[in-house]
Amino acid sequence: MDEDRGIPKHPWDTCREVPAIEDERTPWKMLKLLKTITLCVVAVFVFGLALCSKATFLLLITLSNEGTKTLPAEQKPVALLCIGCALITSSVLLLQKSLWKACYKSSKMPDKITVAMVLFFEFLVAMGAAILTIVAMPHLDIVTNVTILNGVAVLSALLQAITQCTAKERNRFLVPSIFAFLLILLGYVLFLFLYITKDPTDTKMIIWVGLAVGGSILVSFNWWENYLRLISENNSSVFLKALCKDVKKCQNMLHILSSLLRIAVTAGVLGAYVPLAKMDWYILTSIPSRETKMIAIIIGVQLISSALCHWFSLVACKMHALRRCFILPLHLASLAVMVLFIVPVIVYYEDYRISLNGTASSNFTGYCNEVVDGRNQSLNGSVFPQLVLDVTHTLCFLDMSKIFDIGMLTGSAVSWWLGLVLATLHLWFLSLYRIQRTQDLFVRRLYEGGFLEQSLLLNTRFDVQTTQKRKQFKPLDTVKVFLCATMWHETYDEMMNIIISIFRLDKYRPKVEEKNTDVVFETHIYFDDAFNDVPGSQGRHVNEYAEMLVIILREVYGVFLNMDRGLFIKQEQIPDQKIVTTPYGGRLVLTMPHGNSLVVHFKDKTLIRHKKRWSQVMYLYYLLGWKLSTKYFKREKHNTYILALDGDTDFQPAAVMLLIDRLKLYPLVGAACGRIHPTGSGPVVWYQKFEYAVGHWLHKTAEHVFGCVLCSPGCFSLFRGAALMDDNVMKRYSTKSSKARHHIQYDQGEDRWLCTLLLKQGWRVEYNAASDAYTNAPEDFKEFYNQRRRWGPSTMANVVDLLGSATLISQRNPSISKLYMLYQLISLAASILAPSTVILMIAGSLTVLLDIHPSVALVLAVIPPAIFLGISFKIKADTQIVIAAIMSIMYAFLMMIAAIIIIGNMVKDETILTPSSIFLISLAGFYLITAILHPQEIGLVVFGLIYLISIPSAYMLLAIYSMVNMNNVSWGTRETAPAAGAAKQEAAAPQTNAQKAKSTITRFFSRAKCCRRLCRTGSTEELIVSQDIQTMEATESEPQPQNSIVEDASLPEEEPSSRRESAFTCPNQSWVSQLQSLSDGMRLREHTLDVDEEQFFRELTARYLEPLPENKKKQKNMTEKLKDLRNKITFVYFICNAFWLIVTFTLQFLESTIFIKVPKIDFDLEFTGEYIYIDPVGFMFILSFVMLVLIQFIGMLYHRIYTLIHYVAFLDTEPMAINDEESIDLDDFSSGTMV
């Protein structure tokens, strides 16, 4: 029998229908182009900003030189003060950031010895920097000033050599470090020799030179921390180890103390060297405007360019462009500054020589005496020639016509520059993880404004790199990811999407036992209510949806198994898989083609509690409570993640890896969600496409930037195991709903409630815009309304819960502040007042359309929604939806007509400054700009028109429907039959003869189809036909109102077997034989469950998941409580809206006395002489709207930048498509991708 496994059962039927497997949505070519452009832009910015920073700093030093004439002597102290500002600006910024962290987060106090050591070194560095730049460098030439700053690497080069000598392995960069140290020393020797031998009697110059050398050596102590860690690791000294640990642990407090010390020392040197006591401070205000502008521009450019260069350097490192966009631009910046200063000097000197035409001596000394020093001190002409001559003056003490002077000066400059290059040579070979944090890459948060590129290069982490460094690169801990999908009544296409996504991920990260991988995946699908009774069978069978899933698994498995095989090549057969009977129903265990596991759990609602939240409780306790904690996986909880999925989610492997990056990068992130794209067709889906886009573009990004995301949707979110297992999270999530509000908060939006529990425990919830996932959206108006009927009240309940605990959450959660909670309060108030706001908008439209008084228009606008609200308490839910649909169409036409009239009035009146036109133009422009910043989704702007004309339906009619039907806690979507109670009531209703005949015929054919399917078909088409018949049978009669239903809608109860007469007995006597007969080409071997695991599930069911007994009395009591809660909340909700309308109505009557006068302008933005009158309430509403939009826009910009950074780094370190994986070496993934 086993020998026949290699022979296809139907060798003549080899043609296949292969579903779409490749990534057809992601524009990889455009993204590669975007990556190239981004890296080029970052490299140019790093180079340009470093050039500006250094050039302006050297200009300030040149202007403070005693012999320069651009600034008069009495104004030169101002230039020295600007140099001091450049030195302390970074310390001020670090102090502000550290103080904020000390107030916002916990900061530990260091030991006294640690404080003393750190402050001692900081004192030396601050003293050296101030002496070097303020005292010594103004007396040196420009070439020396450009390159002596490279000499600050002298101690770093020495410590590198010492660190590598103390290491036990052979290292690669010991020789370059020794040469770097020697070259820097050579530069100092040549510099001293040149200046001292030029005029040995000039005592002052000797002092300046000595101060320059001593200051630069003191500055080189700045990066001692970079080598302390490695020296302490290779040394047995307990003191060094304790010092290193304490410095890292108490970094924030040390930054505060060191910043204050640096500011004080710099100020002290300025006070001692610059005669501030005798200085006439009137000079600061009496400097001529031209000099004032020049100094302001120079110091402004210096400060801004230094801070921006530091930020762009961090961006370059985060993008994994360390060599292209960080090291190379910074090394070239010193050379570019040299060229920038020396070339104009040479050009001006040559022009002078040409102008003499041989009539006089044309040596450099004569040029200095005649042109440079003999010029006037006025700035009547251009500033640039004066600055060039000032730079030339610093070189005048040398005789540039002598080869000796030029050689000595060039030798010292080249020695210093090459010394810095060799001292940072190890950076070219530095190995980085894609998820490398900035604090792990840079030793200090501080940058030095005076010598920016040196501080950035030397501040980068130093590692002892051996000759076999890549093989010894420390791997990251392997991450275990459980993919957990919940299914119920998904269609064939929806199931196909998620199964293909799972198999695609299996191919992307194959499970290789003999090698360490960065990520290991295991998939679990939890199929709710999968069993039903079948006449003539001894056991329960799985329903048609479960059968469909097994067939899809077989089809997709075969496609992926033989994906690379041609049509006429022997096809590989699917290996045997396992089928297991469990205490909760059954289980199908598959080993996918590349080694990862896929387990389908079929749940029997008679054995275990059903519905989505309880399926989540089931896999949380099974995977985290049993497998992780007690059975298989003993590793740390922080390295175990759960990817929550819906049964129709379509995603790419890259989307999962991007979410994993967020959790690996930040240990306090408890959950991260991706960008959800609704799929489908029709106007309802088009509306949702734009609504989802706006929600993710603005709301989620603002939440991510200013606080935390409040809802990580269950269709595609990654959760940290440690966060879910934290106190008051998983335990409380398994709480049974016992109060009316529990049904709304716990069961109607379970993903939002889980995030609420995480936020309360101090975990951060994030949003990753580059992680795309696709899920089917409701295409029917009724299904859409029912879905939002669940989401709306649950969202409000969870936000109110968070606001009620605002003080506790802001103390416990470091990412949430009270200002952020205020933002959420304003957003909640805006959502509550949305219906009345829409009514005011409609009233404005009626005013424009009918040319009537605003008060009359307001009354007319209130009447339709008020009538709809009143009758909604008396009519069925389905009837409410029909009325809402009709009103939505009418309002859409009204909105279109009003928009056309507003545009026409703008043209007619030649003004845009009216409330309606301002709102329309600003809203359209705002959405357009936002869409442009999302180029991949810019096409969604087309659906913005549908979104705008649907505002009355979505924000007024839907709000009324959600509030009135709040007591209906049924799921509302994917329901193929009415609730049991409704079915029984409908069955009791009298039927006509025609209806009875139709019902009898339908039941006959439905049983025939069912029996034929169960006996052995394996045909997907027949499954779909049977599904359609069941749907038709279920929808023959309209269900009763569900306004008081407590439980979810379920399928009609099966009739007792005694009332059924089956024509024959089905041969499949159990669900096992049923699925075995369906799995043609994929044999299912029956196995037994492990004894310990079986006992676990029995205990879990008894404790948390026992099916709820049907208690009519309790259900009736809960129904009344839900109605009572509905009435209370609805009363408060609509009273608030009524109050808002009454206030507006009253102010319209008083418009002659209470108003805000705004001048009217035309299209040329010129005053027309007329005024527009706006009531204060309307003005405050517009102001609040503008503030919210502005906050969201700023958050969106910030989030877009960091999304781009993450995505560029991802593109540089991960394969871009599934086609590329054949050429990927698994070693690239063995330790978390590195460069």
| pLDDT tens string 1129-1184 | 999 999 999 998 888 778 766 655 556 666 666 556 566 666 666 656 666 667 77
The token pair that represents 1224 in the structure block: 């990927």
Contacts of 649 (CB under 8 A, 6+ apart): 485, 497, 498, 501, 715, 716, 773, 774, 775
Q: By CB neighbour count within 10 A (0-12 exposed, 13-18 middle, 19+ buried), where does 955 fall?
A: middle
User: Which sign, positive or negative, has the C-alpha torsion 108, 112, 114, 115?
Assistant: positive
The pLDDT value given to residue 976: 53
Residue 928: pLDDT above 70? yes
Phi, psi values for residue 719, rounded to 5°: -115, 145
Maximum Cα interatomic distance, the chain, rounded to a whole number of Å: 128
∠ Cα 277 280 285 (to 5°): 130
In angstroms, the CA 792 to CA 807 distance is 25
Instruction: Give residue-wise pLDDT tens across range 805-841.
Output: 998 998 889 889 888 999 999 899 989 999 998 898 8
The secondary structure of 742-766, three-state, reads HHHHHHCCHHHHHHHHHHHCCCEEE
Three-state secondary structure along 226-255?
HHHHHHHHCCCCHHHHHHHHHHHHCHHHHH
484 membership: H or E segment, kind and range? strand 479-487
pLDDT, residue 1055, reads: 41
Separation between Cα atoms, residue 886 and residue 889, nearest integer Å: 5
Neighbour-count burial for 320-337, b at 16+ CB within 10 Å, e otherwise = bbbebbbbbbbbbbbebb
Angle between helix axes 492-508 and 653-665 (nearest 10 degrees) is 60
Residue 1087 — φ and ψ, nearest 5°? -125, 165
Q: What is the mean pLDDT of residues 498-525?
A: 85
pLDDT at position 1223: 39
**Three-class DSSP category at 1084:** strand
Identify the band that residue 52 occupies on the pLDDT scale cut at 50, 70 and 90: very high
Over residues 688-701, the mean pLDDT reads: 94
Instruction: Categorize the per-residue pLDDT at 1044 as very low, low, confident or very high, splitting at 50, 70 and 90.
Output: very low
Rounded CA gap, 1205 and 1217, in Å?
Answer: 20
Contact criterion met (CB below 8 Å) for 508 and 653: yes
Rounded distance, CA 18 to CA 284, Å? 78
Q: How far apart are CA 614 and CA 1107, in angstroms?
A: 10
Task: Give the angle 959-961-966 at the CA atoms, nearest 5°.
Answer: 95
Name the β-bridge partners of 542: 531
| CA atoms of 766 and 709, how far apart (whole Å) | 6
Q: Which of 288-292, 441-445, 1080-1084 has the lowest mean pLDDT?
A: 288-292
Task: Judge contact between 712 and 672, C-beta under 8 A.
Answer: yes
pLDDT at 1114: 87
- Reduced to 3 states (helix: H, G, I; strand: E, B; else coil), residue 130 is helix
* Helix, coil or strand: residue 486: strand
Alpha helices in 1104-1175 (DSSP H): 1112-1149
Crossing angle of the two packed helices 781-804 and 683-694, in degrees rounded to 10: 20
Q: Quick one: pLDDT band at residue 781, thresholds 50, 70, 90?
A: very high
Query: In this predicted structure, what is the pLDDT of residue 988?
Result: 41
Does residue 1227 surpass a pLDDT of 60? no
Of the candidates 704, 736, 588, the one whose C-alpha atom is nearest the C-alpha of residue 1084 is 588
Between the alpha carbon of residue 997 and those of residues 682, 969, 994, 1000, the distances in Å are: 36, 35, 5, 5
Averaged pLDDT, 506-527:
83
**Looking at the predicted structure, is the pLDDT value of residue 1079 above 50?**
yes
Q: 518 vs 512, which has greater pLDDT?
A: 518
Nearest partner of 422 among 226, 176, 182, judged by Cα: 176
Please list the residues that pair with 717 across neighbouring strands: 644, 673
Q: Please state at what angle helix 781-804 crosses helix 818-832, rounded to 10 degrees.
A: 140
The chain-wide mean pLDDT, for the chain, equals 81
Confidence of residue 469 (pLDDT cuts 50, 70, 90): very low
| Phi, psi (rounded to 5 degrees) for 1169 | 90, -5
Closest CA to 218 of 265, 183, 259, 179: 265
Strand pairing category for 1167-1174 and 479-487: unpaired
In 1033-1077, where do the E strands start and end?
none
- Residue 584 scores a pLDDT above 90: yes
Residues 437, 665 contacting (CB under 8 angstroms): yes
- Strand segments, DSSP code E, in 488-564 are 519-527, 531-532, 541-542
In this structure, the number of other CB atoms found within 10 A of the CB of residue 508 comes to 24
**CA count, 13 A, side-chain hemisphere, 134:** 28
pLDDT of residue 478: 83
pTM confidence score: 0.85
Q: What is the pLDDT of residues 153-180, one digit of tens each?
A: 999 999 888 888 877 666 677 889 999 9
Q: Report residue 424: phi and psi, to 5°.
A: -110, 15
Q: How far is CA 655 from CA 501, 571, 652, in A?
A: 11, 31, 5
**Residue 529 neighbours by CB under 8 Å, 6+ apart:** 488, 543, 603, 605, 610, 1050, 1051
pLDDT-based confidence at residue 271 (cuts at 50, 70, 90): confident
